[in-house]
């Protein structure tokens, strides 16, 4: 006890481990480092007769304290410190936000605490309050300057203008946001290089690809008998994902106008006949109908987008991107000018009204129990839609995306009358029921009056702003298995 007290707090004070450019604090007690009193006394007794004689003359020598180490505890404590210290090497890169803004990811050198070397360093430095420990370093090949240069010279020019791809006389326009959604700048052999995710880009322009060549036809289902029957797929002639990516990369940093070329090649259907037969599409899993007045131009647009989406098949894990699949709404494809919300006002725009279809398909997703990836409610509440359970779309944003997170396929059936639009999903049910629970309207705000003198602006009555929470409740086997909340804030 006298020996331990003579060492004071040195033997229990935290030890500062200097690792690279950081200092880690090691608790010696937790690490199993302690004074071995018996061994220290034995060392003193082993000093011998000469030392005892010298001691009587006042000329004795000091004996170093002898430590004990619990190897398992020491290694475990060092491994615990390493968890917060170690990091993987990361090369510099440039990525893009969902809005298409380039963001720099600076390079980071990798490092790992050498636990075995740290044990050896501690063994040779007992009672030292600061011990340098070895670190394994994993260097990177790129620099911060490389990242800045890639952003300025590649990323920003890449999104400066659309790219027109000439496909044997037909034109396919790839918008900057389509590029941003499929592009990243990554380190390849020490150089930051543009990399296009081929399938992502191909899916982003899927709607436009149907306007060039002779697209392959996916297998689908005929439900006229009330029982789904597979309609076989067909091959086609289209631009492959690899050829499209190569065409875009070729002119990625050119000045506008940017034009590339791509050839048609035999294309296989996304969903083959054989695949469709094994998807388990056998029953209705969710449906929704929304209503509207007859015969306005917006109704034509609702019918047109419904026709485009009708018959689409999602395999397990597939995502459906409404804008990516349908493409831009223009008069050449049968869309008409009709009122839609632009910058907070109702104005005539080609394709106006398709948000009613977006709301209808979103509700089919909701009641089918499928996964909502992204949807955007209207900024103002529109009384024909269920509050807090609706969606708006425009091209290219906002978009509506959902995922088939079931182990079975999903077949989308659309139908309409002059006064209604219905979307029905077929597949295999996972839940007995999916319920919607609508909460009260809160934070109510009165609306004002705004006067706009412009021919393309449509007069509307006001609507109060409010907050609302809609809860999706999943029921199976007579009990609730999970729930999800959708929170919406409407402006007045």
β-strands 236-238, 265-267: how paired?
antiparallel
Contact at 8 Å (CB) between 138 and 235?
Answer: no
Task: Judge if 49 and 131 occupy the same domain.
Answer: yes
Count of other CB atoms within 10 angstroms of residue 25: 10
Model confidence band, residue 56 (pLDDT cutoffs 50, 70, 90): very low
Q: What is the mean pLDDT of residues 264-282?
A: 96
Count of other CB atoms within 10 angstroms of residue 279: 25
Task: Judge if 233 and 348 occupy the same domain.
Answer: no
Show the tokens assigned to 128: 């030292």
pLDDT, residue 93, reads 97
Q: Specify if 474 maps to a domain.
A: no
Residue 122: helix, strand or coil by DSSP?
Answer: helix
Task: Judge if 401 and 420 occupy the same domain.
Answer: yes
Model confidence band, residue 62 (pLDDT cutoffs 50, 70, 90): low
Q: Specify if 456 maps to a domain.
A: no
Helix-strand-coil split of the chain, %, nearest 5: 25, 35, 40
Q: Specify if 440 maps to a domain.
A: no
pLDDT, residue 159, reads 96
Kindly state the percentage of the chain with pLDDT values over 70: 89
Show the tokens assigned to 467: 């907050």
Task: Judge if 132 and 210 occupy the same domain.
Answer: no
Which of residues 102, 136, 170 is at a domain's end? 136
Cis peptide before 398 (omega within 30 of 0): yes
Q: What is the mean pLDDT of residues 284-304?
A: 95
Task: Judge if 132 and 150 occupy the same domain.
Answer: no
Q: Specify if 149 maps to a domain.
A: yes
> What CATH code is carried by the domain that includes residue 250?
3.10.20
Q: What is the mean pLDDT of residues 303-321?
A: 97
Show the tokens assigned to 139: 């260097």
Task: Judge if 163 and 218 occupy the same domain.
Answer: yes
Better-predicted residue by pLDDT, 301 or 35: 301
Q: Give me Rg for the CA atoms of the chain.
A: 34
pLDDT, residue 43, reads 60
Which DSSP symbol is given to 10? G
Q: For the whole model, what pTM was predicted?
A: 0.69
Count of other CB atoms within 10 angstroms of residue 302: 25
β-strands 130-132, 15-19: how paired?
parallel
Residues sharing a CB contact under 8 Å with residue 386, sequence separation 6 or more, in sequence order: 363, 436, 438, 470
Q: Specify if 193 maps to a domain.
A: yes
Task: Judge if 97 and 162 occupy the same domain.
Answer: no
Tell me which residue range forms the domain holding 190. 144-272
What confidence tens digit (pLDDT) does each residue in 371-412 have?
999 999 999 999 999 999 999 999 888 999 999 999 999 999
Which of residues 88, 112, 136 is at a domain's end? 136
- Containing 76, the helix (H) or strand (E) segment is helix 71-85
Task: Judge if 244 and 357 occupy the same domain.
Answer: no
Q: Specify if 299 maps to a domain.
A: yes
Q: Specify if 65 maps to a domain.
A: yes
Q: What is the mean pLDDT of residues 73-92?
A: 93
pLDDT score of 59 more than 60: no
What confidence tens digit (pLDDT) does each residue in 86-124 have?
999 999 999 999 889 999 999 999 999 999 999 999 888
Task: Judge if 12 and 121 occupy the same domain.
Answer: yes
Distance CA 263, CA 269 (A): 18
Which of residues 250, 272, 294 is at a domain's end? 272
Task: Judge if 11 and 52 occupy the same domain.
Answer: yes
DSSP bridge partners of 86: none
Distance CA 155, CA 103 (A): 9
Q: Specify if 436 maps to a domain.
A: no
Q: Lowest mean pLDDT of 137-151, 173-187, 339-353, 392-406, name the range.
A: 339-353
Kindly state the percentage of the chain with pLDDT values over 90: 71
Distance CA 353, CA 360 (A): 12
Max Cα distance, the chain (Å):
118
Q: Considering its fold, how many domains does the chain have in total?
A: 3
Task: Judge if 266 and 288 occupy the same domain.
Answer: no
Task: Judge if 95 and 166 occupy the same domain.
Answer: no
Count of other CB atoms within 10 angstroms of residue 358: 25
Contact at 8 Å (CB) between 167 and 239?
Answer: yes
Distance CA 160, CA 325 (A): 24
């Amino acid at each position: 006890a006298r020996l331990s007290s003579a060492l004071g707090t040195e033997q229990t004070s935290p030890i500062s481990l200097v690792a690279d450019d950081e200092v880690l604090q090691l608790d010696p007690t937790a690490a199993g480092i302690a004074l071995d009193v018996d061994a220290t006394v034995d060392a003193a007794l082993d000093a011998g007769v000469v030392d005892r004689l010298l001691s009587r003359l006042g000329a004795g020598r000091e004996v170093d304290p002898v430590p004990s180490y619990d190897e398992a505890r020491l290694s475990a404590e060092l491994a615990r410190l390493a968890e917060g210290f170690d990091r993987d090497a990361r090369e510099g890169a440039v990525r893009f936000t969902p809005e298409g803004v380039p963001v720099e990811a600076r390079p980071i050198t990798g490092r790992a605490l050498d636990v075995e070397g740290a044990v050896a360093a501690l063994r040779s430095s007992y009672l030292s309050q600061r011990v340098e420990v070895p670190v394994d370093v994993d260097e990177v090949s790129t620099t911060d300057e490389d990242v800045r240069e890639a952003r300025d010279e590649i990323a920003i020019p890449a999104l400066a203008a659309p790219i027109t791809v000439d496909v044997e006389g037909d034109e396919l326009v790839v918008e900057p946001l389509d590029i941003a959604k499929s592009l990243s700048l990554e380190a390849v052999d020490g150089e930051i290089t543009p990399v296009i995710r081929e399938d992502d880009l191909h899916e982003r322009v899927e709607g436009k690809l149907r306007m060039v060549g002779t697209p392959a036809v996916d297998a689908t289902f005929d439900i006229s008998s009330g029982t789904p029957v597979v309609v076989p797929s067909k091959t086609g002639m289209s631009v492959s994902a690899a050829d499209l990516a190569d065409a875009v990369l070729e002119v990625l940093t050119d000045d506008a106008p940017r034009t590339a070329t791509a050839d048609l090649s035999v294309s296989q259907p996304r969903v083959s006949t054989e695949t469709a037969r094994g998807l388990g599409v056998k029953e209705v899993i969710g449906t929704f109908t929304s209503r509207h007045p007859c015969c306005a131009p917006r109704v034509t647009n609702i019918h047109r987008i419904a026709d485009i989406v009708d018959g689409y098949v999602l395999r397990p894990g597939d995502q459906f991107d409404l804008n990516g699949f349908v493409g831009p709404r223009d008069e050449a494809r049968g869309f008409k000018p009709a009122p839609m919300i632009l910058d907070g006002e109702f104005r005539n725009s080609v394709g106006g009204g398709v948000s009613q279809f977006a709301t209808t398909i979103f509700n089919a997703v909701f009641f089918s129990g499928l996964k909502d990836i992204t949807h955007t409610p209207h900024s103002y509440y529109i009384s024909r839609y269920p509050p807090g359970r609706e969606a708006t779309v425009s091209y290219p944003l906002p978009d509506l995306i959902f995922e088939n997170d079931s182990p079975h396929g999903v077949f989308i059936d659309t139908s309409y009358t002059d006064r209604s639009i219905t979307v029905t999903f077929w597949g295999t049910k996972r839940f007995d029921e999916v319920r919607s629970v609508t909460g009260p309207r809160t934070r109510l705000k009165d609306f004002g009056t705004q006067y706009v003198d412009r021919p393309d602006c449509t007069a509307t009555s006001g609507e109060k702003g409010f907050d609302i929470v809609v809860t999706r409740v999943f029921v199976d086997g007579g009990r609730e298995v999970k729930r999800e909340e959708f929170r919406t804030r409407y402006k007045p």
